[in-house]
Structure 1
Amino acid sequence: MIIVGGGQAGLTAARAALAAGLRPVVLHAGAEPVGSWPDYYDSLTLFSPARYCSLPGMVFDGGEADRYPARDEVVTYLRHYAKSIDADIRTRARVAAVQPRPDGGFLVRTDTGEEVSAAGVVAASGSFGNPYLPPLPGRDGFAGELRHVAHYRRPEPYAGKRVVVVGAGNSAVQVAHEIAPHATVTLATRAPIQFVPQRIRGRDVHHWLRVTGVDRLPRSVLARLVRHAAVLDTGVYRDAIATGLVDRRDMFTALTPDGVIWADGSAEPVDAVILATGYRPDLGYLAPLGALKRGVPRHAAGVSTTHPGLGYLGLEFQRTFSSNTLRGVGRDATHVITALAAQLSGGGWRHRRARDTAHRSDAVRH
């Protein structure tokens, strides 16, 4: 079995595959199997306490359980987690394409030309590599800095500048707040920001998500309940907007060569626009399979509805509210790997496995 991606989703998939008696090979594009965490902005901290950040089989330790871990703590944790898994993890192995084999299974090609046959594939490559850039009128003519938050690192380069951050989620608010002491910042949103208290009755909101069962609500229920992005806040962000440290305005209607046109028709020069507009699944390598619809995987709870032996992990709301988080991805991994193991153990897979192993010494099999 091939697992594409060596972040939290891929590593938990490998652990679940080993527990199911499979032999996983993890192909990861980066230099070490820690996902995209090293590429996030420097000051990023999790909005969930350490006690809710453990992957299956290893406690997220190293300090107070109620602290909010920093980016580099997550990197260190995933590094140790990868070492604890007795799986073949190959780094600097970016998957370029997954193709169907005529006699069943898959042929996985990397960007270095390596080819590996596999009966099963788990796409666990996340979404960080595919930031969403919304269509903005005038974008091509804008002479200022325009970047997605995926490429933002720290606030100092924006000192003394006029900056607009687009988005109403956690990253948008956190980045705007961080830049505000250095620059004049506006949050451009399509609706007022929805704040959720970080702590309720003295307990972090994640405690209540767990005890109430919201963390495990199925996707069908979530679709009715979750309508807009919400920002977890201790009060700091709400106060920053209330006091004017961070300005909040309705989304601009267009970019001009030197700035933006606001919803009221006024034009203003702007030095930089940072788009905290989310991500889309980074699954272009599956295009040869026909497993995607407009870039989105066709699946049921992470199990492909187009190809037996194909699964997904790390998708937002894949099965539950916590699917693409450290605390929730392990449950999805068990579900998906159990389903794929059942598919791969049936019918002609055993015959094809024996035949392919005889023909290809580099074949990877379950």
Structure 2
Amino acid sequence: MEEPQRQRVAVVGLGAMGIVAVKNLLEEGFDVVGFERSSYVGGLWHFTEDEDTLSIIESTTVNVSTDRASFTDFPFPVGTSTFCTAKEVENYLEAYVEHFDLRPHFCLSTSVRSISRERNDGRWRLEFERRPSEWFDKVVIATGPHIRPMMPVLEGADVFTGRLIHSKGFKKPETFAGQRVVIIGLGNTGSDVADALVGHASNISISHHHGAIVMPRLLDGVSATSRLSYRFIKLQGILNRLLPKFAERLYNKTARQIMTDAFGVVDPAWRLDPALSVLVANPVISDTLIANLLSKAVLSIEGIRKFVGGRQIELTSGEVIEADAVICCTGYKNDFSLLEKEYDPSSTPSPSWLHAPGSKNRPYPRLYQNIFSMDAPDSLAFMGCVWFVTGAFCLADIASMCIAQVWSGKASLPPRSTMQHWVDTQEKRICTLAQRGAVIPTAVPPSAWLSWADRTAGMGVEEHVGWSWKGWLFWWRERKLWKMVMDGPFTSAFWRLFPGRRKHWDGARAEILRLNKEVEESREKARLLAIKAKAA
């Protein structure tokens, strides 16, 4: 008897989000083809000197510890530093592709020109720049959130005789040797660019309109985010639901306390206060920003009012400064224009989003759980539209497991009315936050989203650590492991620990034990060093 033909799935984009989507869809039996316009995988984690191509700065150190930054069933190599380099991430992604033998399913150097849906059979037509069109049963858009650079509109920019670029074009700090550089934007990218320029540029200033919370990567010898355990995430969900204003004050107070513990009292001249709420803006993760401000290697200046000719810039304070280069670290916006308008999830933005100060003219994708198309949930899904403070690779892994389980028929989506209610509620929440600042459009409530993802992907987490009989059994039989799961580092391997519908990873238990042991050893080492320092 002839076997039924496997459904063909196209994954567009082969950065970290695309390659994990290919892997998880293959595990559920789909015929998957991944398309990437570059000649390599890994997206922005592959450094290139091409100023028209987005890539990480070579000197970048990642902001998320490796235990949280990895995919769920493929840890970073033992011995990798807690916060590794951009090159180590690039090597990690290449190793992931080789380990799961994904390369035969990739079409590199292939640009997708447009994606449309056939009216007669519902299949998707992909048109390419230099090859014949192909048809697929399903499509995953994995082009990621960093598509179009957002350049600020600056009065008089046309009369500035210096260099004005977006951070996308910043590749080598040596090219700014001896120059006076102004960086627009006090965020993670702005901090990284400033640090890279130290020792090269003659003068470095960060121009910003609001403050920021600055957090270290390490605190007491371990990742500062190690406090964000699974128990914390669950309690956070309860507080968000019952006491949202109290919860927000608590999060901001905790983040500020970490900042104070790490750096002490900050100088008011740096204008880090008042900072936006952590619900609206990401904390700046940097071990060098405060030190650079303290040493005056980097200066904090007011926002830019206008360019006044030549190399002169007028600040909002009225002060006029001179600069040879201005680097705009002002972020990116998503772009879904590959799709025909009917299936573009951002094609009909609400007035509430358009008129919110924090929307910044960015597209807002209306997707169920920020993954599934509302117009074709059975065959169109998106990667890179889910965000909260955790590892992006882990999030992408979980999201693509959800897609694979739903499309394979092992899990189901709720009725359209329920999905519509979720989308409307999520949009209202984001628009409310956008009244206060430039909120990330794809931010979701962590606890609620993870609960949905756990059920949909079939990871068995809440079943084994909740109040069910399996939860009590796990607590009774595995007290030590249960404690690690609840209060230890919130590791990526956690999501592959329990049996469920998605593929189980036999190495999850050993990985959780290893990481918890490393954290305890690092914490004890830091404690002894602190005692020794006090004694001296």
TM (normalized to structure 1)? 0.84
Q: Does 1:256 align with 2:311?
A: no
Cα deviation for residue 33 of structure 1 reads 1.7
The equivalent of 1:17 in structure 2 is: 25
Specify which of 94, 111, 115 is matched with residue 98 of structure 1: 115
Cα deviation for residue 305 of structure 1 reads 1.2
Cα deviation for residue 90 of structure 1 reads 0.7
The residue identity in structure 1 corresponding to 2:376 is H
CA distance in structure 1 between the aligned counterparts of 2:332 and 2:235, rounded to whole angstroms: 23
Contact residue 42 and residue 93 of structure 2 kept, 8 A: yes
Contact residue 50 and residue 61 of structure 1 kept, 8 A: no
The equivalent of 1:78 in structure 2 is: 93
Task: Could you tell me which runs of 5 or more consecutive residues in structure 1 were left unpaired when the two chains were aligned.
Answer: 347-366
CA distance in structure 2 between the aligned counterparts of 1:112 and 1:164, rounded to whole angstroms: 41
Cα deviation for residue 241 of structure 1 reads 1.1
The equivalent of 2:133 in structure 1 is: 115
Cα deviation for residue 288 of structure 1 reads 4.2
Change (3 A) 1:95 1:45: same
Change (3 A) 1:101 1:259: farther
Contact residue 107 and residue 116 of structure 1 kept, 8 A: yes
Change (3 A) 1:96 1:226: same
The residue identity in structure 2 corresponding to 1:297 is P
Instruction: Please list, as runs of the form range in 1=range in 2, the aligned pairs for 1:202-217 lying within 5 A after superposition.
Output: 202-214=221-233
The equivalent of 1:291 in structure 2 is: 344
The residue identity in structure 1 corresponding to 2:315 is W
Q: Does 1:243 align with 2:301?
A: no
CA distance in structure 2 between the aligned counterparts of 1:246 and 1:160, rounded to whole angstroms: 14
The equivalent of 2:195 in structure 1 is: 177
Change (3 A) 1:300 1:256: farther
The equivalent of 1:337 in structure 2 is: 404
CA distance in structure 1 between the aligned counterparts of 2:214 and 2:13, rounded to whole angstroms: 33
SS at 1:82's partner residue? helix
Contact residue 163 and residue 271 of structure 1 kept, 8 A: yes
Could you report, residue by residue, the CA deviation over 1:300-333 in whole angstroms, capped at 9, with x for unpaired residues?
A: 221111223111112352xx4337x123221111
The equivalent of 1:307 in structure 2 is: 376
The equivalent of 1:41 in structure 2 is: 57
The residue identity in structure 2 corresponding to 1:307 is A
SS at 1:108's partner residue? strand
CA distance in structure 2 between the aligned counterparts of 1:4 and 1:266, rounded to whole angstroms: 48
SS at 2:390's partner residue? coil
CA distance in structure 2 between the aligned counterparts of 1:213 and 1:2, rounded to whole angstroms: 37
Could you report, residue by residue, the CA deviation over 1:36-95 in whole angstroms, capped at 9, with x for unpaired residues?
A: 21222111121122232221332211633x432211111111112122334511101121
Larger Rg computed on CA atoms: 2
Instruction: Please list, as runs of the form range in 1=range in 2, the aligned pairs for 1:25-174 lying within 5 A after superposition.
Output: 25-38=33-46, 39-61=55-77, 63-64=79-80, 66-87=81-102, 88-103=105-120, 104-174=122-192
Could you report, residue by residue, the CA deviation over 1:307-366 in whole angstroms, capped at 9, with x for unpaired residues?
A: 23111112352xx4337x1232211111233233449999xxxxxxxxxxxxxxxxxxxx
The residue identity in structure 1 corresponding to 2:223 is D
CA distance in structure 1 between the aligned counterparts of 2:60 and 2:129, rounded to whole angstroms: 31
Shifted more, 279-288 versus 100-109: the winner is 279-288
The equivalent of 1:357 in structure 2 is: none
Task: Could you tell me which runs of 5 or more consecutive residues in structure 2 were left unpaired when the two chains were aligned.
Answer: 1-8, 47-54, 249-277, 348-362, 414-536
Could you report, residue by residue, the CA deviation over 1:157-192 in whole angstroms, capped at 9, with x for unpaired residues?
A: 111111011111111112112213222010011112
SS at 1:59's partner residue? coil
- The structure where strand makes up a greater share of residues is 1
- The structure where helix makes up a greater share of residues is 2
Figure out how many residues of one structure are paired with residues of the other and give that number. 340
The residue identity in structure 2 corresponding to 1:203 is V
- Which structure has the higher relative contact order (CA within 8 Å, separation 6+)? 1
Change (3 A) 1:156 1:63: same
Shifted more, 135-144 versus 302-311: the winner is 135-144
Cα deviation for residue 122 of structure 1 reads 0.6
Change (3 A) 1:316 1:151: farther
CA distance in structure 2 between the aligned counterparts of 1:92 and 1:189, rounded to whole angstroms: 39
CA distance in structure 2 between the aligned counterparts of 1:332 and 1:259, rounded to whole angstroms: 48
CA distance in structure 1 between the aligned counterparts of 2:207 and 2:77, rounded to whole angstroms: 38
The residue identity in structure 2 corresponding to 1:326 is F
The equivalent of 1:187 in structure 2 is: 206
Cα deviation for residue 210 of structure 1 reads 3.7
Change (3 A) 1:114 1:331: same
Q: Indicate the percent of aligned positions where both proteins have the same amino acid.
A: 21
The residue identity in structure 2 corresponding to 1:54 is S
Change (3 A) 1:327 1:207: farther
SS at 1:36's partner residue? helix
SS at 1:253's partner residue? strand
Contact residue 4 and residue 124 of structure 1 kept, 8 A: yes
Change (3 A) 1:171 1:307: same
Contact residue 98 and residue 108 of structure 1 kept, 8 A: yes
CA distance in structure 2 between the aligned counterparts of 1:79 and 1:193, rounded to whole angstroms: 35
CA distance in structure 1 between the aligned counterparts of 2:304 and 2:148, rounded to whole angstroms: 24
The equivalent of 1:322 in structure 2 is: 390
